[in-house]
Chains A and B, each alone.
Chain A
Amino acid sequence: MNKTVTAASLALAFGAALSLAAAPAAAQDKMADKEKCYGVALKGKNDCKAGAGTSCAGTSKIDYQGNAWSMVPKGTCEKTASPTSPTGHGQLMAFKEKKV
């Protein structure tokens, strides 16, 4: 529970928030020590040029072949510490193709 939130404390908080919101951008960056901001852009999924989701782009990969499944993890999880893992790092179980 937060300490009692009164009308007066809300007013104070909003007053401070307004000055934060109105402050110039440079000052904001300094103040935002609790905040890391990552701008991101997603690409579209609609046209063939963009690749994803279009049958014309799909023929390059064959996902139905089961022989690709005796895999070793190749991702960054191997470099990622994991307290719950016996090796101390992220690991993936060997993957067996499920017969559908």
Chain B
Amino acid sequence: MSTELAFAHALLRPDAPCPAGLRAWNGSDPVKRYAVYRNNVVVSLVDALADSHPVTQALVGEAFFRAMAGEFARRSPPRSPVLAWYGEGFADFVADFPPAAGLPYLADLARLEWLRVEAWHAADADPLPLAEVAALLADEAALPNLRVTLHPALRVLRSAHPVVSLWAAHQSEDAAGALGAIDFAAAEAALLVRDGLDVALLRVEPGAAAFIYRLQRGDALGAAAQAAAPFDLPATLGLLLRHGAIAAMRTS
């Protein structure tokens, strides 16, 4: 193994010995210095995950979160030099992490927090002006065949757990009180939109989330609305328009 490979290999393995052949510029002990560096690698990744997943951490506590995140970091080191993007796959890891099996909602909560990161960093897009939306209504017969280009930051999450309520409870002053009021049998769906420079996390009906998901993957308006479970279509369209989440609508 080359020196570089040996150096990298041992970084994610706490029990591996310090690679051979290292020496410090000032003659200090390379074993100690390597240990500091190895520690910093994982600490920095765990810190990044903690920053991106504050509610996940609040739910399980710092010690548990850091232990879980450290496991993830050692198994799935970053593939991009952009630290803000570190954490993709963390929710899937949490879902399969046996010690967290007692909290069935934890993985979707991590997923929700990751979608916030994605929404935060996604590209900009100008919303379709309301006047142009109004103009499209003139050709009523064409409406069902319109395809909608949604804002690149828009994300939807459909969960079998009340993830939006859980997340929201941790934004309030009285988290414990808010947590007590949550119905854990409730499935919830989240819509994330970036309105200006801020990410808004909105609770939507599951049917509305399914509708938006279908629009996002390219289904025509009529088919998308038809296929979803009953939901309030005017309110959902109003929500999308109000948050500037519709970038274009055109016949395909």
Residues of A within 8 A of B8 (CB): none
| B71 touching A98, Cβ below 8 Å | yes
- Is B201 positioned at the interface, with any CB of A under 8 Å from its CB? yes
- Is B225 positioned at the interface, with any CB of A under 8 Å from its CB? yes
- Is B124 positioned at the interface, with any CB of A under 8 Å from its CB? no
Q: Kindly state the separation between the CA atoms of A6 and B13 in the bound complex, as whole angstroms.
A: 60
* Stretch from B22-30, B32-40, B150-158 that touches the partner: B32-40
Known: A3-B230, A64-B14. A92 touches B60 (CB 8 A): yes
| B130 touching A75, Cβ below 8 Å | no
- Is B18 positioned at the interface, with any CB of A under 8 Å from its CB? no
Known: A22-B130, A63-B39. A40 touches B48 (CB 8 A): no
| B143 touching A10, Cβ below 8 Å | yes
The smallest C-beta distance from B162 to any residue of chain A, in angstroms, reads 10
- Is B5 positioned at the interface, with any CB of A under 8 Å from its CB? no
- Is A26 positioned at the interface, with any CB of B under 8 Å from its CB? no
Residue of B nearest to A8 (CB): B140
| B204 touching A34, Cβ below 8 Å | yes
| B99 touching A80, Cβ below 8 Å | no
Q: Size band of the B side of the interface?
A: 35 or more
| B143 touching A36, Cβ below 8 Å | no
Q: Kindly state the separation between the CA atoms of A9 and B57 in the bound complex, as whole angstroms.
A: 45
Residue of B nearest to A89 (CB): B102
| A4 touching B226, Cβ below 8 Å | yes
Residue of A nearest to B50 (CB): A52
Q: Kindly state the separation between the CA atoms of A66 and B84 in the bound complex, as whole angstroms.
A: 27
The 10 nearest A-B residue pairs measured at CB: A20-B238, A74-B61, A17-B237, A75-B61, A16-B234, A21-B241, A58-B40, A17-B238, A58-B43, A53-B83
Q: Which B residues contact A (CB, under 8 angstroms)?
A: 12-15, 35-48, 50-52, 57-68, 70-71, 74, 83-84, 86, 98-104, 106, 116-117, 120, 130, 133-134, 136-137, 140-144, 164, 166-171, 175-176, 179-180, 182, 184-185, 198-205, 207, 221-222, 225-242
